[in-house]
Amino acid sequence: MSLSRQTCARHATDHVSSAFSGHQSTDNLSAAVVVPTYRRPEELERCLHALERQTRPPDEICVVHRDAGDPATEAIVAAWKRRQGCSSRLTAMVSVPGVIAAMDMGVRSTTCDIIAVVDDDVQLQPDWLERCLCHYADPSVIGVGGRDIVHERGAPCEALQARVGHVTWYGRIIGNHHRGSGMARPVDVLKGANMSLRRHYWVLDKRLHGTGAQVHWEVQVCLRVRRQNGTLIYDPGCLVDHFPAQRFDNDQRGAPTRKAIADACHNEVYILLTYLAWWQRIPYLLYTFVIGRRGSWAALRWIMIRSVGESVSFHDQLIPSYRGKLTGLVSWLVVSKWRPLSSIYHVSAIANGDRYADNTPPTIRERIA
Three-class DSSP category at 295:
coil
Residue 251 lies in a domain: no
Give pLDDT tens digits for 295-326. 999 999 999 998 888 888 999 999 999 999 99
Residue 89 lies in a domain: yes
Residue 366 lies in a domain: no
Three-class DSSP category at 326:
helix
What's the CATH number where 46 sits?
3.90.550.10
Residue 365 lies in a domain: no
Q: What is the pLDDT of residue 250?
A: 54
Residue 265 lies in a domain: yes
Spatial separation of the C-alpha atoms in residues 135 and 121, rounded to whole Å:
25
Same-domain check for residues 262 and 303: yes
- Whole-prediction pTM value? 0.85
Q: What is the pLDDT of residue 211?
A: 83
Task: Specify the DSSP class assigned to residue 338.
Answer: T
Same-domain check for residues 311 and 212: no
Residue 294 lies in a domain: yes
Beta carbons within 8 Å of 343's beta carbon, 6+ residues apart: 205, 206, 207, 335, 359
Give pLDDT tens digits for 148-165. 999 876 666 666 788 999
Q: How far, CA to CA in Å, does 222 sit from each of 97, 142, 188, 205, 301?
A: 22, 9, 7, 12, 27
Same-domain check for residues 319 and 198: no
Residue 207 lies in a domain: yes
Q: Which pLDDT tens digits describe the chain residue by residue (369 residues)?
A: 334 434 444 444 444 443 334 566 778 899 999 999 999 999 999 999 999 999 999 999 999 999 888 899 999 999 999 888 788 899 999 998 889 999 999 999 999 999 999 999 999 999 999 999 999 999 999 999 999 999 876 666 666 788 999 999 999 999 999 999 999 999 999 999 999 999 999 999 989 999 888 999 999 999 999 999 999 999 999 999 999 877 655 555 567 899 999 999 999 999 999 999 999 999 999 999 999 999 999 999 999 998 888 888 999 999 999 999 999 999 999 988 765 434 444 444 433 433 323 333 333 223 333
Same-domain check for residues 135 and 216: yes
Q: What is the pLDDT of residue 154?
A: 63
8 A C-beta contact, residue 227 and residue 278: no
Of 272, 273, 263, nearest to 295 (Cα)?
263
Same-domain check for residues 89 and 230: yes
Same-domain check for residues 205 and 74: yes
Give, rounded to a whole angstrom, the gap between the first and last alpha carbons of the chain.
Answer: 37
Same-domain check for residues 272 and 329: yes
Same-domain check for residues 219 and 263: no
Same-domain check for residues 88 and 219: yes
Picking from 186, 213, 242, the residue at the C-terminal end of a domain is 242
- Classify residue 342 by burial, with Cβ atoms within 10 Å: 0-12, 13-18, 19+: exposed
Containing domain of residue 285, as a range?
258-337
Same-domain check for residues 143 and 66: yes
Q: What is the pLDDT of residue 180?
A: 92
Radius of gyration of the chain (CA): 20
Position 321: which residue type?
A: S
The domain total for the chain is 2
8 A C-beta contact, residue 230 and residue 143: yes
Q: What is the pLDDT of residue 22?
A: 55
Spatial separation of the C-alpha atoms in residues 170 and 248, rounded to whole Å:
33
Picking from 216, 242, 268, the residue at the C-terminal end of a domain is 242
Same-domain check for residues 132 and 272: no
Residue 316 lies in a domain: yes
Same-domain check for residues 177 and 67: yes
